[in-house]
């Protein structure tokens, strides 16, 4: 796809390969940068998303694009029997595994290298699926969502936390100022990789959000689909049921 937003528009490598390499390279600084750039709010947003799943009492949970496992770890609040995290970046998984070991949660959380567009589990396997800031990095969003639908049990819940955009003009202006000037600067100073953070901003700006993303989920047969905007809409939680 020529119109895809890629980490490196001049590279012939596929989006998946470029995204994997980019996250491998920023993995040691990812958590620190996340905390600084979201001013610490991202942890609370994952907690809020997890709380939305409470009434469903999921026992087997899949965290897609798990990265350093923050969502998988937050899911422990649901007292699940099993949480599996998948990601294409082995370096992000490596950091996630260190955190899980520190928490002594290896008996519940397992991380493995896998692509969301070919999920290595059978149909109707998981009670719930979480995805934090992952979907906009998929090479083929439709294939990824079809795979998610396939491995989710009927009646199972999907919660997606993803960047979105404010609706009011002045909020848009402030957020744009912050993301175009401050975020790449912090990204360059801390991770020494301004390009990665430019991609993250560029992909966020071009990804469907709000009602447009709700419609995409509905097209993939998800039901009871809602969008909850967070902090002027800079991120949103999408909730859906199979």
Ligand X SMILES: C[S@@+](CC[C@H](N)C(=O)[O-])C[C@H]1O[C@@H](n2cnc3c(N)ncnc32)[C@H](O)[C@@H]1O
Residues lying near ligand X in the complex (CB under 6 A): 16, 19-20, 23, 34, 65-67, 70-71, 86-89, 92, 115-117, 132-134, 137-138
Q: Tell me the backbone φ, ψ of residue 144, rounded to 5 degrees.
A: -60, -45
Beta strands 235-241 and 60-64, pairing class: unpaired
Please report how close the Cβ of residue 182 comes to ligand X at its closest, in angstroms.
18
- Helix, strand or coil, per DSSP, at residue 111: strand
Scan for tokens 């469903």, then name that residue: 56
Give whichever of 132 and 233 is closer to ligand X, judged by the CB atom: 132
Does residue 239 contact residue 228 with C-beta atoms inside 8 Å? yes
Please report how close the Cβ of residue 169 comes to ligand X at its closest, in angstroms.
27
Please report how close the Cβ of residue 35 comes to ligand X at its closest, in angstroms.
10
Look up residue 232 and give its DSSP letter: G
Please report how close the Cβ of residue 92 comes to ligand X at its closest, in angstroms.
4
Give whichever of 71 and 149 is closer to ligand X, judged by the CB atom: 71
Give whichever of 113 and 189 is closer to ligand X, judged by the CB atom: 113
Please report how close the Cβ of residue 69 comes to ligand X at its closest, in angstroms.
8
Please report how close the Cβ of residue 118 comes to ligand X at its closest, in angstroms.
9
Q: What residues does 174 pair with on adjacent strands? A: none
Give whichever of 223 and 238 is closer to ligand X, judged by the CB atom: 238
Give whichever of 167 and 179 is closer to ligand X, judged by the CB atom: 179
Please report how close the Cβ of residue 87 comes to ligand X at its closest, in angstroms.
4
Give whichever of 34 and 110 is closer to ligand X, judged by the CB atom: 34
Beta strands 126-132 and 109-113, pairing class: unpaired
How many angstroms separate the CA atoms of 76 and 83, rounded?
8
Does residue 134 contact residue 161 with C-beta atoms inside 8 Å? no
Does residue 234 contact residue 209 with C-beta atoms inside 8 Å? no
Q: Tell me the backbone φ, ψ of residue 168, rounded to 5 degrees.
A: -80, 150
Length of the chain: 242
Q: How far is residue 209 from each of residues 32, 130, 229, 235, 237, measured CA to CA in Å?
A: 26, 17, 10, 9, 10
Give whichever of 137 and 193 is closer to ligand X, judged by the CB atom: 137
């Amino acid at each position: 796809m020529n119109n895809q937003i890629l980490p490196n528009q001049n590279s012939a490598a596929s989006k998946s390969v470029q995204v994997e390499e980019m996250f491998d390279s920023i993995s040691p600084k990812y958590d620190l940068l996340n905390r600084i750039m979201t001013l610490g709010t991202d942890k609370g947003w994952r907690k809020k998303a997890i709380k939305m799943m409470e009434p469903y009492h999921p026992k087997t949970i899949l965290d897609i694009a798990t990265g350093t496992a923050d969502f998988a770890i937050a899911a422990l609040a649901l007292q699940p029997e099993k949480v599996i995290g998948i990601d294409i970046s082995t370096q992000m998984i490596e950091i996630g595994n260190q955190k899980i070991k520190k928490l002594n949660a290896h008996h519940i959380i397992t991380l493995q290298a896998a692509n969301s567009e070919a999920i290595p589990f059978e149909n109707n396997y998981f009670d719930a699926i979480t995805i934090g800031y992952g979907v906009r990095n998929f090479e083929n969003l439709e294939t990824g969502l079809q795979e998610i639908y396939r491995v989710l049990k009927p009646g199972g819940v999907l919660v997606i936390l993803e960047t979105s955009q404010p609706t009011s003009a002045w909020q848009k202006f402030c957020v744009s100022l912050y993301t175009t000037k401050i975020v790449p600067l912090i990204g360059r100073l801390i991770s020494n990789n301004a390009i990665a953070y430019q991609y993250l901003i560029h992909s966020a700006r071009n990804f469907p959000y709000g009602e447009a993303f709700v419609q995409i989920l509905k097209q993939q047969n998800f039901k009871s689909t809602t969008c909850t905007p967070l902090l002027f809409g800079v991120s949103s939680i999408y909730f859906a049921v199979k």
